[in-house]
Amino acid sequence: MSENHNEKGIAYKWVALFNVTLASLMGSINGSIILISLPAIFKGIQMNPMSPGAFQYLLWLLMGFGLITATLLLTIGRLADMYGRVKLFRLGFLIFAIGSILLYLTPGTGNTGALELIIFRLIQAVGSAFTIANGSAIITDSFPVSERGKALGINMVAFMSGQFIGLLLGGVLATYNWRYVFLVNIPFAILGTVWSYWKMKDISFKAARTSLDIVGNLLFVGGLTSLLIGVTYALMPYEHNGITDAMGWSNPWVMAALGIGIVLLVAFPFVESKVKNPMFRLEFFKIRAFAYGCLASFTSAIARGGAMFMLILLLQGIWLPLHGYNFEDTPLWAGIYMLPMTIGFMVMGPISGMLSDKYGPRWIATAGMTIVTLVFLGLALLPYNFDYWELGILIFFMGIGNGMFASPNSSSIMNSVPPQNRGVASGMLSTLGNSASTLSMSVFFTIVIVGIQQAFPGAVQSSFASLGSGQIDPALQQLASYLAGMSPTNALFSAFLGYNPMDSILSSMSSSVVSGIPQQIVTTLTSNYWFPQTLQQAFMPALRISFIIGAVLCGIAAVLSAMRGQKYVYEAQNSVSGINKSDLAIVEETRT
């Protein structure tokens, strides 16, 4: 490194932060905008999302992005350490732009159109993996130790803001044309691509270019891919011997995928300890700040991801319809009602980062996870017909707690590793977060589905008896039996997508059966109130269990966070191999 990359007028550190923040904003908008736009997207490609076989397309559109991203992050981080983080970061913007353009131009309809959307989303995911894997490392490279927490906090605020912006944009754009949902990504991607090639320069210290750890890569990518595909397909109904299970945990292919994934991931550290140039240096886990920071991040992400999805299901499937909102409006309003959590994170993210720069991350991050633990316990005590202010206060403090944890924890991890290995450390941190989110969805969704399966038939019989004709009307009895025996997965996802579940159920039944039900009863069943009121009897006990598990996991994360020790900065504790003092001086000048 022989030249000074200092930008005139604006310090390079702000140039780098702007572009990394743009990538974070783009990625989070892309993630949330599709959640609210799925009904319009499926309508646009002329496919009923509740039709048989559509569920797998729906699940891959929702989870495929994270699956691909999670499996690539660590490998990309290692390559970035050797060949340059900015170089791969730029490439990520370019790939994401190509994926967004392809999504906007999707030519097919029906199953073909859905498959094309999934493939183009996976292309986007590859581009996103290149930016995510390098973002934290680029910020850490560009800012001095005294400002890294603040910079990482600003970046995380952009990510959280993008989630809310995506919901609002999706709600507006989907009403005009479903393709606009993907069009909105293109200006971000093009701006990021041009800006990164024009202004960004690689000031990182590169690791020595060694042979790539092929065996380690195959074990890690293969193991994680197999594991995440297994837990994804476990969420799908499984039919065997004429019996349909609500979930696919008993599917032999799912069990095989899970078994192979676990075996490969268990073998990974043993192989890494033997190879000459390992993909990941396991000795980093001897650094307390790194090891306990990563474990706390992983544990908290498992608690947060699936539990938040369950909270959105509570709003869309029960609370909002019972308070007079039409089902088709619930995705947008669920996002709006979750805004206090975003505000809490936006308030505390930069503040906690600055405090951790000054006082160290240990107790700030620990206090944040303690707050989130208490919030989960409060959520477990909520009734189904809560007053909104109760939920608003709780999720605001959840945002505060997560904001207190996120940036101090990230800066603690990134500060603890050698500068030439920050790419793989950033990749590891992001891999843990993405993998935990997928695992979390499977764990919490399984808890809720099992709970509903056990309690929903009794709730249906009770609700039908209250109609006054369930005992004598054969058509109504047939409907009651159908509801009691159906998989609750489709009904939950129907509400999640903004469809009235009873409309979907009645449309899938024989017209001769439906015509035998008195119109007054049909009107009651398809109202905003009957299904949510019936579902809550089965849903709430399972939801409370998931929130209690979330509290336990966050409590564990708080303990792990406290065990990280005092503030640890690698440059201050070690002489950095292969980096001379003149190079360090150039980097410090470039940052400021």
Taking only the tens of pLDDT, the chain with its 592 residues reads 333 344 444 688 888 889 899 988 888 888 778 877 888 888 888 887 767 677 788 888 877 888 888 888 888 888 887 888 888 888 998 999 999 999 999 998 888 999 999 999 999 999 988 988 888 888 888 888 888 888 888 888 888 788 778 877 887 888 788 899 888 888 888 888 888 888 888 776 665 566 667 788 788 888 888 888 888 788 777 777 767 677 788 889 989 999 999 999 899 888 888 877 777 777 788 888 889 999 999 999 998 877 777 888 888 888 999 998 888 888 788 888 888 988 998 889 888 888 888 888 889 999 999 999 999 999 999 999 999 999 999 999 999 999 899 889 988 888 888 887 777 788 888 888 878 887 888 888 888 888 888 887 788 777 777 766 445 467 777 777 777 666 677 777 777 777 788 887 777 777 777 777 778 888 888 888 888 888 888 889 989 999 999 999 999 999 999 998 787 776 666 654 444 444 444 344 444 4
pLDDT at residue 523, as a whole number? 85
Single out the residue of 332, 376, 432 nearest to residue 132, CA to CA: 432
Question: Closest by alpha carbon to 410, among 130, 140, 40?
Answer: 140
Cβ atoms of residues 13 and 588 within 8 Å: no
Which among 427, 398, 527 is positioned nearest to 467, based on CA atoms? 527
Report residue 201 as tokens. Answer: 């320069």
Question: Which tokens belong to 444?
Answer: 């919490």
Contact 297, 429 (CB under 8 A): yes
Q: Which residues of 536-549 are buried (b: 16+ CB within 10 A; e: fewer)?
A: bbbbbebbebbbeb
Neighbours of 513 (CB within 10 A): 15
Cα–Cα distance for residue pair 170/191, rounded to 1 Å: 21
Torsion angles phi and psi, residue 249, rounded to 5: -65, -25
Give pTM, 2 decimals.
Answer: 0.83
Beta bridge partners of 244: 239
**Can you tell me the distance from the alpha carbon of 211 to that of 208, in angstroms, rounded to the nearest whole number?**
10
Give me 450's structure tokens.
């099992």
Burial 553-579 (b: 16+ CB within 10 A, else e): bbbbbbbbbbebeebbbbeeeeeeeeb
Residues of the chain by 3-state class (helix, strand, coil), percent to 5: 80, 0, 20
End-to-end CA distance of the chain: 17
Sign of CA dihedral 280, 404, 161, 179: positive
Indicate the helix (H) or strand (E) that contains 243: strand 243-245
The predicted pLDDT at position 4 comes to 39
Which is nearest to 307 in space by CA: 164, 437, 144, 453? 437
Side-chain-side CA neighbours of 476 within 13 Å: the count stands at 21
DSSP state of 238: E
Residue 377's φ and ψ, nearest 5 degrees, are -65, -40
Provide the pLDDT for residue 220: 83
Cα(203)–Cα(592) distance, integer angstroms:
13
User: Hey, what long-range contacts does 481-486 have (CB within 8 A, 24 or more apart)?
Assistant: 482/509, 483/456, 484/456, 484/457, 484/460, 485/457
The predicted structure's pLDDT at residue 205: 63
- Decide: helix, strand or coil at residue 239: strand
CA distance 446 to 435: 17
The residues, any chain, with a CB within 8 Å of residue 489's CB and separated by 6 or more, are 55, 235, 236, 237, 246, 247, 449
Quick one: which of 283, 41, 13, 84 has its CA closest to 179? 41
Are 403 and 345 within 8 A, CB to CB? yes
| Contact by Cβ (8 Å): 331, 35 | yes
Residue type, 459: A
Phi, psi dihedral angles at 244 (to 5 degrees): -110, 115
Contacts of 482 (CB under 8 A, 6+ apart): 505, 509
Residue given tokens 């397309």 in the structure block = 57
Rg, C-alpha atoms of the chain: 25
Determine the 3-state secondary structure of 506 from DSSP.
helix
b/e for 80-117, b at 16 or more Cβ within 10 A?
Answer: bbbebbbbbbbbbbbbbbbbbbbbbebeeeeeebbebb
List, for residues 274-303, the tens digit of each pLDDT value: 877 777 777 788 888 889 999 999 999 998
pLDDT at position 592: 46
Residue 419 has which token pair?
Answer: 């500068």
Q: What does residue 239 show for φ and ψ, rounded to 5 degrees?
A: -105, 130
Is the distance from CB of 427 to CB of 280 less than 8 angstroms?
Answer: no
Question: Which residue reads 């007028």 in tokens?
Answer: 9
